[in-house]
Amino acid sequence: MTHPATPSGPAAQPGAVPDKPAATAPGAASLPAGTLDPVEGQSQGHAAPGLWTLAVGSVGVVYGDIGTSPLYAFREALVPARYDNILLPEEVLGTASLILWALFLIVTVKYVAILLRMDNNGEGGILSLMALARKALGGSRIVFALGLLGAALFYGDAVITPAISVLSAVEGLKLVTPAFEGSVLPITVAIILALFLVQSRGTSKVAAFFGPVMVVWFAALALAAVPHIFGNLAVFKALNPWYAVHYLLGHGTGALVALGAVFLAVTGAEALFADLGHFGRRPIQIAWIGLVFPSLALNYLGQAALVLEKPDTTDPFFQLFPEWALLPMVILATLATVTASQAVITGAFSLSRQAIQLGLLPRLEIRHTSESHSGQIFLPQINVLLMVGVVVLAVVFRSSSALASAYGIAVTGTMLLTASMTFLVVWRLWRWSPVAAAALMLPFIVIEFLFLLSNLLKVLEGGYVPLLLAAGLIVLMWTWVRGVTILFNKTRKTDVPILELVGMLEKSPPHHVRGTAVFLTSDPEIAPAALLHNLKHNKVLHEKNVILTVETVDTPRANGPDRVRLEPIGPGFFKVVMKFGYMETPNIPKTLVLLRKQGFKFDIMATSFFLSRRSIRPAAHSGMPLWQDRIFITLAKNANDATDFFQIPTGRVVEVGTQVTV
């Protein structure tokens, strides 16, 4: 199944709109390092990194989010138990047990053992999983809608993670000296602004720093906890799942509230799957089993031991450390939270590119910040929107505790959708019986549903934030796709079939000029508007005319002979279909070179690219409400130019404009 993504297709240039409705397809993580991109024609890495290099790199990028959860997860999970000011040992052990078993079941079993095996041509992530699920069900629209919802919720995560992570780290300054209390928010905002302002420089140098920093961070988590654990070995009782079950059964609504905070310990697990294509399965698994999971488990046990000894402890994470180590740990925690923030920001850039490729959003400017890694991209407009959103959240909520209520819904919703689609893949693609597939995935669906339920209790306390963000994004995508469809239906009435036009020109040929003309269109069966206007106004025809359609396929990369297909349709006319994977950046000139192998000779310096530019105006009787018309027109005006998007030389482009109403 293919999906159009052309300049007159789903993602319009400024003031332009598609000729054809947007289509649907998946999306996933970045290209594996060291692979060859058939479009770019260059290696995506200087050399294939070794297993341990990739494992250390994954510690920095994949585990940044989940690795900073100890800063606030255990503290927040104890809040319901403190309501009556009496913190019982069973409640401390029960909370620790819930966190440890959540880490084991959700992260180790579901993500590390099961989901890392569900790659789509080496790529992971919820949109990649959606592609597999749609394939299993023959292109289900319901599955696509679920994948879209999961992607929208991820944006909520991308806004909340930097705010809560940096706030929780800087709050440690209050323990160094109370004099810092009034400086926490200004320092947090300054760090956030600096983080977003350096995005345009690319993440390659910073990424090399991430891995070693996070290795030191996880080592510090484990080492700080060991003395407290040996001081109270009874804390190992938390390894017994009975304490978790007993806590849930004995605390009623309070247990549900606690579950919402417990879930903070597993936020970031989606990054395991999303970054599969960048690091590969084994490095991610080795990093989790060999370093990350043991360090997290020891730290949560250490915090539990400290609270058992001193029930009035207010910040069990930072109080694990002696006074002389507080300031270094605040600095290290800040570096770690910047790492966690960088991971979700990069993920938001990647997800945005996928949405653009699929025609769910108009074209936005995409800058490549690395010559060797195509996955390192920067989207200025997305970066500004994220920066504003993060700063606003930090200023409005002012503390990590207040933001904790907003955090869970986005992640629990995404995880529950992931588990549901995994069931479909196990059942239909892995060909397990429905009973066996349900036995495998139903426990995770039940657990994550309980987590979602517990987080929904906090909707009024801040949980509305990711829901509003997701709803807003879905409205934008729905408006874009709907507007594209309306315009397509309007313009279709005046369309001329390309074969009919070729027949007419054969009978009554216009004046011919030398060179090749490439006309881009989303529908190869219909004569492009630019071709009709060129004939009408210039009254000339090139000796070679290419009707070019660019399609996005349901795989991360399009390879093989099917990438470019050439079909003669009349004297001097050729129909060309180019296919790109949803993780690729289309490069039309380089891909056209592949036609030479099929006997099509042309000189790029004697080739002109004709694009249709359509200026939109609201109609008196539109197919959408006026507010949607205005959103659609605004999106179209702010879209990136097709010339840049398809990497066409600006000196070879001719634009033909028309005015249309929506």
pLDDT tens, position by position, 390-430: 999 999 988 887 887 777 788 888 899 999 999 999 999 99
Stated pTM of the model:
0.74
Predicted local confidence at residue 306, as pLDDT: 95
> Per-residue pLDDT tens for 507-551?
888 888 888 999 988 888 888 888 988 888 888 899 999 999 988
Predicted local confidence at residue 518, as pLDDT: 93
End position of a domain, from candidates 436, 457, 478: 457
Under DSSP, the state recorded for 120 is: B
Is 248 inside a domain boundary? yes
Q: Which among 312, 352, 308, 282 has a CA at the least distance from the CA of 62? A: 282
| Helix pair angle (400-424, 252-262), 10° resolution | 90
**575 and 441 assigned to the same domain:** no
Is 17 inside a domain boundary? no
Predicted local confidence at residue 16, as pLDDT: 39
Predicted local confidence at residue 366, as pLDDT: 77
* Pair of tokens at residue 430: 């892995």
Environment class of residue 622 by beta-carbon count within 10 Å: exposed (0-12), middle (13-18) or buried (19+)?
A: middle
384 confidence band (pLDDT: 50, 70, 90): very high
Other C-beta atoms closer than 10 Å to the C-beta of 612 total 28
29 confidence band (pLDDT: 50, 70, 90): very low
CA atoms within 13 A on the CB side of 340: 32
**441 and 499 assigned to the same domain:** no
Is 583 inside a domain boundary? yes
Predicted local confidence at residue 132, as pLDDT: 87
Q: How far is CA 49 from CA 46, 53, 279, in A?
A: 9, 6, 9
Is 20 inside a domain boundary? no
Mean pLDDT value of segment 206-220: 82
With a CB cutoff of 8 Å and minimum separation 6, the contacts of 598 are 564, 566
**155 and 282 assigned to the same domain:** yes
> Looking at the predicted structure, is the pLDDT value of residue 234 above 90?
yes
**565 and 450 assigned to the same domain:** no
Share of the chain above pLDDT 90, in %: 26
End position of a domain, from candidates 413, 432, 457: 457
Q: Which among 613, 611, 612, 624 has a CA at the least distance from the CA of 662? A: 624
Domain boundaries, position 313: 47-457
SS3 content of the chain, % helix, strand, coil (to 5): 65, 10, 25
End position of a domain, from candidates 437, 457, 477: 457
Mean pLDDT value of segment 613-642: 80
602 confidence band (pLDDT: 50, 70, 90): confident
Number of domains in the chain: 2
> Looking at the predicted structure, is the pLDDT value of residue 597 above 60?
yes
Share of the chain above pLDDT 70, in %: 87
Predicted local confidence at residue 374, as pLDDT: 53
Predicted local confidence at residue 5, as pLDDT: 38
> Per-residue pLDDT tens for 183-207?
889 999 999 998 898 887 765 555 5
* Pair of tokens at residue 410: 């986005």
Write the CATH number for 162. 1.20.1740.10
Predicted local confidence at residue 203, as pLDDT: 56
Is 403 inside a domain boundary? yes
Is 33 inside a domain boundary? no
Predicted local confidence at residue 204, as pLDDT: 55
